[in-house]
Amino acid sequence: MAIRRIAQIGHPVLREISREVSVEQLRSDEMQRFIDDLIETMRDANGAGLAAPQIYEPVRICVIEVRNNPRYPERPNIPLTVLVNPRLTPIGDERFDNYEGCLSVPDLRGVAPRHAVLRVEALDRHGAALDFVARGLSAGVYQHEVDHLDGKLFVDRVVRPSTLSTWREFERHHQASATEHARAIVARYGS
In the complex, the smallest distance separating the C-beta of residue 12 from Ni ion, rounded to whole angstroms, is 16
x/- track of binding to Ni ion for residues 92-131 (CB under 5 A): ----------x-----------------------------
The vertex-95 CA angle with 129 and 88, nearest 5°, equals 20
> What residue is closest to Ni ion based on CB?
102
In the complex, the smallest distance separating the C-beta of residue 102 from Ni ion, rounded to whole angstroms, is 3
Residue 62 touching Ni ion (CB under 5 A)? no
Would residue 145 show up in a list of annotated catalytic residues for this protein? Answer: yes
> Is the distance from CB of 58 to CB of 13 less than 8 angstroms?
yes
CA distance 158 to 111: 6
When the beta carbons of 91 and 155 are compared against Ni ion, the nearer one is 155
Catalytic residue among 57, 65, 100, 145: 145
CA distance 177 to 187: 15
When the beta carbons of 102 and 185 are compared against Ni ion, the nearer one is 102
When the beta carbons of 102 and 149 are compared against Ni ion, the nearer one is 102
In the complex, the smallest distance separating the C-beta of residue 48 from Ni ion, rounded to whole angstroms, is 9
When the beta carbons of 82 and 102 are compared against Ni ion, the nearer one is 102
In the complex, the smallest distance separating the C-beta of residue 164 from Ni ion, rounded to whole angstroms, is 15
The site for Ni ion (CB under 5 A) is made up of 102
Catalytic positions are 145
